[in-house]
């Protein structure tokens, strides 16, 4: 079985493993949002997602025009 340690060696692999375990632990700790998902909160979060997607598209477009 391929593990992080087998790819990066015991020392570096151990450090990476520690980090991934920590990130997993954080994700589990905060898996459930504490705030009640009311209609207002849902709309606000949806707005943020749409806003960020549009910004990423704009940044991507700028990057593409620079490369061109």
Q: For binding to another protein (CB under 8 A), which residues are involved?
A: 22, 26-27, 29-36, 40-41, 44-45, 47-48, 51-52, 55, 58-59, 62
Nearest distance, CB of residue 2 and another protein, angstroms = 26
Helix (H) and strand (E) counts for the chain? 3, 0
Name which of 51, 45, 46 is nearest 59 in CA terms.
51
- Distance in angstroms (rounded) separating the CA atoms of residues 26 and 20: 10
Q: Which is nearer to another protein, 2 or 40 (CB)?
A: 40
Nearest distance, CB of residue 14 and another protein, angstroms = 17
């Amino acid at each position: 079985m391929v593990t992080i340690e087998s790819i990066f060696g015991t020392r570096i692999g151990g450090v990476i493993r520690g980090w991934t375990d920590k990130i997993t632990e954080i994700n589990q700790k905060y898996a459930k949002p504490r705030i009640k998902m009311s209609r207002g909160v849902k709309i606000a979060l949806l707005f943020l997602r749409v806003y960020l997607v549009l910004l990423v598209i704009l940044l991507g477009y700028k990057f593409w025009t620079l490369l061109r």
